C-alpha cells in the first residue's frame, strides 16, 4: 500500500578512514540523517553503505581483508541506529559480506557466497547462467541498458551528433554518444563500452544490430524491456527460494544513456510498461521450457486468498492455448499447467481476472536469434 524505502548512509564503493577524527564526522552526519527521517512511514531499512564490502574484491591486493573489521559499518552505525531508531532493521553493507560468507569463500571476499547480491557481471544475454544459476536469495541491484527515444537523444545531443555514429558499420561512437555513456574524461576508453553493451545485448537475441537509428532504438528498448521483465518474473516464479529484487533504475537524474526505464526528460521506455504489468500483486507468468514444457505460474503477493481465471492465446492465430480457473493462497504461488515448447518464435498473450479487475502479460517464446521484424509485428499488442 505504498513505497518502501531502503536508505543508504551516504558512503559507497570504497573503504573509508578509520581514524577518530573521521569517525566523529560520520557520527555527527548519521545522527542528523537518522533523526530527520526515522519517523517516516516508508522507511523499512538502514544500510551502512553501498558496495563498500565488495569494493575490496575489486582490488587484487585487498580481497583477503575482512570487511567485518570496518568500524563504521559494524560498530558505529549499528549502535546509532539501535539508539536513535531501534524499530528499523540495519544492514551493514550491500551486498553484505558477513563473517560466515567471508569464511565460506576461504577467508576472502567473494559476492557469490552472499545471499544478497548486486548482479551486474558481463551484462550479456539476459537468460545466461549468470542470472538463472545465481544463488542469490535477494537481488538488491540488477539492470539492463536501453537506448533513449530519438526525441530524447535530440534534446541530449547537438544535431550533428545524434546520427550517424562516427562509423555506422562498426558502431564507432562519436564524442557526445561516448560522453552520455558516462565516460570519466575526454580520453577515457572503459566507459565507452556502455554503448557497446546495448549493441551486444541486441546481438544476443536478434539477427541484426540495426544501423538505422530508429530501428536500433526499437531493438534496444525491446531487449531492455524483455530482460527486466524476465528478471522480475524469474525471481517471482521462484518465490520461497528467491525472495526479492530491486531493479536499477527508475529515472535518470541527468541526460544520459543508461539502465533507467524513464529518461531525464520523463519519456518512458518500453520497459516501463512491461515492468508495470509484471509487478501486479497477483500475476500470471510463463517460464522457460523444461522437460514438461513451459510452466504457467501464478503468484499472489497479497495477504489473502485470491480466486480468478486466466486465458493464454497465440498472438498470431488467436488460438486459445490454455484456459483455467485458479485459487492461490495468501502470499503464495501455484503452478497451473504448462505449454508445449515451440521451435518457432511465438508470442503468447496472457489475460487474467481477479474480482472485477483485468490484467495482461505476455511471454516471448524463442531461441536466439530472431528477426527484429518478427517481434515488431507484435509490438502494437504490447504497448
Strand order in the sheet with 332-339: 282-286, 294-300, 332-339
Do 109 and 184 contact (CB within 8 A), yes or no?
Answer: no
Q: How confident is the model at residue 99 (pLDDT cuts 50, 70, 90)?
A: very high
* Whether residue 266 is found in the same domain as residue 294: no
Residue 150 sits in the same domain as residue 238: yes
Distance CA 201, CA 286 (A): 22
**How far is the C-alpha of 222 from the C-alpha of 383, rounded, in Å?**
11
> Read out DSSP for 128-150?
SHHHHT---SEEEEEE--BPPPH
Both 151 and 263 in one domain: the answer is yes
| Strand order across the 320-328 sheet | 320-328, 306-314, 346-354, 357-365
Query: What b/e string do you get for 297-328 counting C-beta neighbours within 10 Å, with b at 16 or more?
Result: bbbbbeeeebebebebbbbeeeeebbeeebeb
Residue 42 lies in a domain: yes
Question: What pLDDT shows up at residue 179?
Answer: 85
Regarding whether 286 and 243 lie in a shared domain, the answer is: no
Q: Decide if 163 contacts 148 (C-beta within 8 A).
A: no
| Residues 270 and 288 grouped into a single domain | no
- Shared-domain flag, residues 286 and 262: no
Tens-digit pLDDT profile for residues 271-317: 999 999 999 999 999 999 999 999 999 999 999 999 999 999 999 99
The torsion angle over the Cα atoms of residues 140, 145, 148 and 150, rounded to 10 degrees, is: -170
Q: How many domains are there within the chain?
A: 3
Predicted pLDDT at 186: 66
Q: How far apart are CA 294 and CA 110, in angstroms?
A: 34
Shared-domain flag, residues 86 and 158 = no
What pLDDT does residue 178 have?
85
Could you tell me the three cell numbers for 31? 545522527
**Judgement on whether residues 175 and 230 belong to the same structural domain of the protein:** yes
The CA distance from 158 to 211, in Å, is: 20
What pLDDT is attached to residue 63?
A: 85
pLDDT at res. 194: 82
| Among 226, 253, 275, residue at a domain's last position | 275
What was the pLDDT predicted at 83?
A: 98
Residue 133 domain-assigned? no
- For residue 131, is it within any domain? no
Of residues 196 and 75, the one with the higher pLDDT is 75
Give the model confidence (pLDDT) of 159-190 as tens digits: 999 987 766 566 678 888 988 988 766 666 66
pLDDT (tens digit per residue) in 316-343: 999 999 999 999 999 999 999 999 999 9
At 245-258, the pLDDT tens digits run: 999 999 999 999 99
State the pLDDT at residue 274: 99
Which cell numbers in the block locate residue 378? Answer: 507484435
Q: How confident is the model at residue 192 (pLDDT cuts 50, 70, 90)?
A: low
Q: Confidence class of residue 80 from pLDDT cuts 50, 70 and 90?
A: very high
Please, what is the average pLDDT of the chain?
95
Crossing angle of helices 77-84 and 20-37, in 10° steps, is 30
**191 pLDDT higher than 60:** no
pLDDT reading at 201 higher than 80: yes
Q: Is 89 a residue whose pLDDT tops 60? A: yes
The last residue of one of the domains, among 260, 275, 290, is: 275
How high is the pLDDT of residue 227? 99
- Predicted confidence at residue 64, as pLDDT, reads 92
Angstrom distance (rounded) from CA 57 to CA 102 = 11
Q: Read off the pLDDT of residues 12-35 as tens digits, 9 standing for 90 and up.
A: 999 999 999 999 999 999 999 999
pTM for the predicted model, two decimal places: 0.95
- For 226, which DSSP code? H
Beta-carbon contacts of 91 under 8 Å, excluding residues fewer than 6 positions away, are 45, 46, 47, 48, 116
pLDDT score for 33: 98
Burial (CB count within 10 angstroms: exposed 0-12, middle 13-18, buried 19+), residue 116: buried
DSSP string, 306-349: EEEEEEEEETTT--EEEEEEEEE-TTEEEEEEEE---SS-EEEE
Phi and psi for 324 in degrees, rounded to 5? Answer: -150, 155
Tell me, yes or no, whether 28 and 148 share the same domain: no
Question: In the numeric block, which cell numbers belong to residue 292?
Answer: 514438461
What range defines the domain where residue 76 resides?
Answer: 5-92
Residue 111 lies in a domain: no
**Cis amide prior to 200 (ω within 30 degrees):** no
The enclosing domain of 338 has a CATH number of 2.60.40.2550
The HSE-up count of residue 256 (CA atoms within 13 Å, CB side) is 16
Angle between helices 213-237 and 270-278 (to 10 degrees): 20
Cα gap 74→104, rounded to integer Å? 19
pLDDT of residue 183: 76
Amino acid at each position: 500500500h505504498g513505497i518502501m524505502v531502503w536508505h543508504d548512509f551516504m558512503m559507497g564503493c570504497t573503504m573509508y578512514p578509520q581514524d577518530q577524527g573521521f569517525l566523529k564526522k560520520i557520527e555527527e552526519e548519521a545522527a542528523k540523517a537518522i533523526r530527520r527521517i526515522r519517523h517516516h512511514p516508508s522507511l523499512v531499512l538502514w544500510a551502512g553503505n553501498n558496495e563498500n564490502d565488495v569494493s575490496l574484491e575489486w582490488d587484487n591486493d585487498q580481497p583477503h581483508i575482512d570487511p567485518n573489521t570496518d568500524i563504521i559499518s559494524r560498530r558505529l552505525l549499528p549502535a546509532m541506529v539501535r539508539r536513535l531508531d531501534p524499530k528499523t532493521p540495519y544492514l551493514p553493507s550491500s551486498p553484505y559480506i558477513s563473517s560466515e560468507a567471508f569464511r565460506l569463500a576461504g577467508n576472502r571476499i567473494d559476492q557469490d557466497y552472499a545471499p544478497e547480491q548486486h548482479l551486474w557481471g558481463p551484462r550479456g544475454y539476459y537468460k545466461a547462467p549468470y542470472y538463472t544459476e545465481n544463488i542469490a536469495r535477494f537481488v538488491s541491484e540488477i539492470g539492463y541498458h536501453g537506448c533513449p527515444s530519438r526525441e530524447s537523444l535530440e534534446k541530449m545531443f547537438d544535431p550533428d551528433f545524434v546520427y550517424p555514429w562516427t562509423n555506422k558499420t562498426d558502431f564507432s561512437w562519436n564524442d557526445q554518444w561516448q560522453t552520455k555513456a558516462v565516460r570519466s574524461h575526454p580520453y577515457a576508453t572503459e566507459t565507452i563500452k556502455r554503448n557497446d553493451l546495448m549493441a551486444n545485448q541486441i546481438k544476443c537475441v536478434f539477427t541484426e544490430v540495426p544501423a538505422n537509428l530508429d530501428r536500433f532504438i526499437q531493438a534496444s528498448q525491446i531487449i531492455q524491456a524483455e530482460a527486466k521483465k524476465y528478471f522480475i518474473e524469474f525471481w517471482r516464479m521462484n518465490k520461497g527460494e528467491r525472495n526479492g529484487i530491486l531493479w536499477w533504475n527508475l529515472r535518470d537524474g541527468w541526460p544520459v544513456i543508461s539502465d533507467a526505464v524513464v529518461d531525464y526528460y520523463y519519456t518512458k521506455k518500453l520497459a516501463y510498461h512491461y515492468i508495470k504489468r509484471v509487478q501486479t500483486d497477483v500475476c500470471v507468468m510463463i517460464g522457460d521450457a523444461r522437460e514438461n514444457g513451459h510452466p504457467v505460474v501464478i503468484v499472489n503477493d497479497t495477504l489473502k486468498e485470491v480466486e480468478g481465471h486466466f486465458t493464454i492465446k497465440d498472438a498470431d492465430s488467436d488460438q486459445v492455448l490454455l484456459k483455467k480457473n485458479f485459487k492461490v493462497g495468501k502470499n503464495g504461488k501455484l503452478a497451473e499447467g504448462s505449454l508445449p515448447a515451440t521451435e518457432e518464435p511465438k508470442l503468447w498473450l496472457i489475460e487474467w481476472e481477479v474480482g472485477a479487475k483485468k490484467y495482461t502479460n505476455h511471454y516471448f517464446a524463442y531461441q536466439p536469434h530472431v528477426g527484429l521484424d518478427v517481434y515488431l509485428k507484435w509490438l502494437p499488442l504490447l504497448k
